[in-house]
Amino acid sequence: MNFDPAVPSPRFRALHIEEFGLAEEEYQHLLSFHHLVRIPKRSFFVKAGDVNTMQGYVNKGCARSYTLDNKGKEHVLFFGFEDWWLGDIESLETGRPGKQYVQAIEDLELLCISARDFNTLCDTIPTLRINRGLKLRRMFYSMIDRLIEVKSCSPQERLDKLLKMRPDIFGRVAMQDIASYLDIEPPSLSRMRRRMLEAERSTT
């Protein structure tokens, strides 16, 4: 990992000032605790078994988080694109070794802050604490949605949901990672994708 001074994307600033409601000096104070971390494609931000001490805001690039089953097979849980936060939250917050691998699938540019610094800042900036709670809630809701999706949606419904959320997914993420995320065998996913593209072409 390379560390540089943080150069935030305009979205990072807007998120904290317009959405979270931080004052300019609070934002600048928070920003001073971040640093830029570049993670080349295929390298890891977090590995299962390690303690995750930093959370990373995705300035640019994308990542996948996955677990290994006891046969060593990968299972993709989430993707992280621009404006998402990366990390193994349980490990970050408890200081225990994590269960997830978080790996760059495009060159990543992250704005990182240590869990310790972030916790200290939450004690002194109430707006930040409140927004941390809101962020956790939103992540919790999307986790329930993901569980409902995995358990009860058909393969086509799962694919439709993903494409609605990320229309550019096939241009940025390998077919086998999308297939693992959706729990669809790669050849089936290729066929589904081909049929969708053919249907699109026939209507244009």
Secondary structure of 112-165 in HEC code, one letter for each residue: EEEHHHHHHHHHHCHHHHHHHHHHHHHHHHHHHHHHHHHHHCCHHHHHHHHHHH
Q: Per CB under 8 A, does 143 bind its own copies?
A: yes
Range 91-120, binding its own copies (CB under 8 A)? 93-94, 99
| Contact indicator for 155, 184 with CB cutoff of 8 Å | yes
Range 184-203, binding its own copies (CB under 8 A)? none
Select 85 or 106, whichever has its Cβ closest to its own copies. Answer: 85
| Contact indicator for 1, 50 with CB cutoff of 8 Å | no
Q: Give the CA distances from residue 133 to residues 60, 127, 142, in Å, rounded to whole numbers and listed in that order.
A: 25, 10, 14
Per CB under 8 A, the segment of 24-32, 37-45, 148-156, 196-204 that binds its own copies is 148-156
**CB 159 → its own copies: shortest distance, Å?**
15
Q: Per CB under 8 A, does 72 bind its own copies?
A: no
Select 6 or 182, whichever has its Cβ closest to its own copies. Answer: 182
Select 59 or 65, whichever has its Cβ closest to its own copies. Answer: 65
Select 59 or 100, whichever has its Cβ closest to its own copies. Answer: 100
Select 109 or 177, whichever has its Cβ closest to its own copies. Answer: 177
Q: Per CB under 8 A, does 140 bind its own copies?
A: yes
User: What tokens were used for 194?
Assistant: 């081909």
Rounded CA separation 85/110 (Å): 9
* Phi, psi (deg, nearest 5) at residue 9: -70, 155
**What 8-state DSSP symbol labels residue 177?**
H
**Binding residues for its own copies (CB under 8 A):** 67-70, 73, 75, 77, 89-90, 93-94, 99, 133, 136-137, 139-141, 143-148, 150-154, 157, 183
